[in-house]
């Protein structure tokens, strides 16, 4: 489908949903919907619920722009439903979405492909805390949540136990990984091509939910002030991760950079598209307006038959 053909289709923007990232998804979806309308597309906004097949049918959806974050949206479930319904959709497919949503599975895939990532262990609810965990400090994360929900940093055993209790409130699988002190950077990838590298500098020292979504709480250095060799290596690594996971369309790969190396943390297959989101900032630095970025992502849906 060419752009003009897409403009004759009913584009459903899926947003909201059932995950802990619902509020962010609504903001992302509304921004995308407004951009598509400015570009002349026929859109309908759908707050995705458990009756999603009926919602899609009532809306007459012919193409879906997925603006869902977290579970039941970013984890392959909605992608699988749309495959069954025969409706083209944006972003990565079922397998890549499921893999990237699971931080433990992603880490194993990174290790298989020789991509450097912090040392880690996985714990399930009821597991005994093993002695072979990486050294403190540790980062404790629910394996299948986003937006830093349920994440904590543990400097000792007591903090680890408290962090695990909090993480298990959100998931029955938890990732415990080595804390890497350094610069936090992110690299957007669009259709297999890297975007400019952004360094994230939260005012509070930790890039948590508030820092991510509150304007003014974080400074973004774009392009990231890194040595040229490191900068280019990060872009190359981001593309390797994108391909290793099997991503399509747009994705964002997060890294920690030290004086001697860099470490891949995770990949996000449906990056945020709010006023504070990183992918639109990187795209703008590459010469793509927000509306042009949204159109590029939408055109990826046309490649699905």
Is residue 207 scored above 60 in pLDDT?
Answer: no
Q: Are residues 109 and 130 in the same domain?
A: no
Within a domain: 34: yes
| Sheet of strand 183-190, all strands in order from the earlier edge strand to the far edge | 218-221, 193-202, 183-190, 250-257, 262-268
**Which residue reads 């948590």 in tokens?**
208
Q: Are residues 105 and 228 in the same domain?
A: yes
Q: What's the confidence (pLDDT) of residue 212?
A: 54
Q: What's the confidence (pLDDT) of residue 57?
A: 95
> How many C-beta atoms lie closer than 10 Å to residue 24's C-beta?
25
Question: Between β-strands 218-221 and 193-202, what pairing exists: parallel, antiparallel or unpaired?
Answer: antiparallel
Mean of the pLDDT values across residues 164-172?
Answer: 91
Q: Are residues 111 and 256 in the same domain?
A: yes
Within a domain: 142: yes
Q: Which domain holds residue 130?
A: 120-178
Q: Are residues 41 and 189 in the same domain?
A: no
Q: What's the confidence (pLDDT) of residue 211?
A: 54
Half-sphere exposure of 149 (CA within 13 A, CB side): 18
Are the CB atoms for 42 and 76 separated by under 8 Å? Answer: no
For the question of whether the overall pTM of this predicted structure is more than 0.85, the answer is yes
Within a domain: 303: no
Q: What's the confidence (pLDDT) of residue 154?
A: 94
Give the span between the Cα atoms of 291 and 161, in whole angstroms.
Answer: 45
The last residue of one of the domains, among 140, 157, 178, is 178
Q: Confirm or deny that 254 is annotated as ligand binding.
A: yes
> Looking at 41-45, 134-138, 242-246, 288-292, which range is the least confident one?
134-138
Is residue 209 scored above 60 in pLDDT?
Answer: no
Within a domain: 279: no
Region of residue 271 (left: phi > 0; alpha: psi -120 to 50; beta: else): beta
Q: Are residues 104 and 207 in the same domain?
A: yes
Give the span between the Cα atoms of 69 and 240, in whole angstroms.
Answer: 23
Helix (H, G, I), strand (E, B) or coil at 274: coil
Are the CB atoms for 180 and 173 separated by under 8 Å? Answer: no
> How many C-beta atoms lie closer than 10 Å to residue 112's C-beta?
9
Helix (H, G, I), strand (E, B) or coil at 167: helix
Q: What's the confidence (pLDDT) of residue 204?
A: 66
Give the span between the Cα atoms of 153 and 207, in whole angstroms.
Answer: 12
Half-sphere exposure of 238 (CA within 13 A, CB side): 29
Give the span between the Cα atoms of 302 and 305, in whole angstroms.
Answer: 7
Q: What is the CATH number of the domain that holds 254?
A: 3.30.470.20
Active-site residues: which are they? 21, 147, 277
Helix (H, G, I), strand (E, B) or coil at 82: helix
Q: Are residues 104 and 193 in the same domain?
A: yes
**Which residue reads 């795209």 in tokens?**
283
Q: Are residues 216 and 150 in the same domain?
A: no
pLDDT tens column, 12-33: 999 998 888 899 899 999 999 9
Within a domain: 87: yes
Q: Are residues 111 and 200 in the same domain?
A: yes
Mean of the pLDDT values across residues 117-134?
Answer: 86
Question: Between β-strands 138-142 and 173-178, what pairing exists: parallel, antiparallel or unpaired?
Answer: antiparallel
Q: Are residues 39 and 59 in the same domain?
A: yes
pLDDT tens column, 231-249: 999 999 999 999 999 999 9
Q: Are residues 8 and 49 in the same domain?
A: yes
> Looking at 32-46, 149-163, 212-226, which range is the least confident one?
212-226
Mean pLDDT of the chain: 91
Percent of the chain with pLDDT over 90: 76
Biggest alpha carbon distance in the chain? 60
Give the chain's domain count.
Answer: 3
More confident site: 182 or 70: 182
Q: What is the CATH number of the domain that holds 54?
A: 3.40.50.20
Q: What's the confidence (pLDDT) of residue 145?
A: 80
């Amino acid at each position: 489908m060419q752009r003009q053909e897409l403009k004759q289709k009913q584009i459903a923007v899926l947003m909201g949903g059932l995950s802990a990232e619902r509020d962010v998804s609504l903001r992302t979806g509304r921004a995308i919907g407004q951009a598509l309308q400015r570009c002349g597309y026929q859109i309908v906004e759908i707050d995705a619920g458990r009756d999603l097949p009926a919602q899609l049918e009532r809306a007459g959806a012919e193409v879906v722009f997925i603006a869902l974050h977290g579970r039941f949206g970013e984890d392959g479930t909605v992608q699988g439903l749309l495959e069954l319904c025969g409706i083209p959709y944006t972003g990565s497919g079922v397998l890549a979405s499921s893999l990237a949503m699971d931080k433990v599975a992603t880490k194993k895939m990174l290790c298989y492909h020789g991509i450097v990532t912090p040392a880690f262990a996985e714990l399930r609810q009821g597991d005994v805390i093993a002695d072979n965990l990486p050294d403190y400090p540790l980062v404790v994360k629910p394996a299948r949540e986003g937006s830093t929900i349920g994440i904590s940093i543990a400097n000792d055993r007591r903090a680890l136990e408290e962090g695990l209790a909090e993480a298990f409130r959100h998931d029955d699988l938890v990732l415990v990984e080595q804390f890497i002190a350094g610069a936090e950077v992110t690299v957007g990838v669009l259709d297999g091509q890297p975007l400019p590298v952004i360094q994230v500098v939260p005012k509070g020292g930790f890039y948590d939910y508030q820092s991510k979504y509150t304007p003014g709480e974080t400074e973004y250095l774009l392009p990231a002030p890194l040595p040229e060799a490191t900068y280019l290596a990060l872009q190359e690594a981001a593309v390797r991760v994108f391909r290793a996971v099997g991503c399509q369309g747009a994705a964002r790969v997060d890294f920690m950079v030290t004086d001697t190396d860099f470490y891949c943390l995770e990949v996000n297959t449906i990056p945020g598209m709010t006023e504070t989101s990183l992918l639109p900032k990187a795209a703008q630095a590459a010469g793509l307006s927000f509306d042009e970025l949204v159109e590029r992502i939408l055109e990826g849906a046309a490649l699905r038959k």
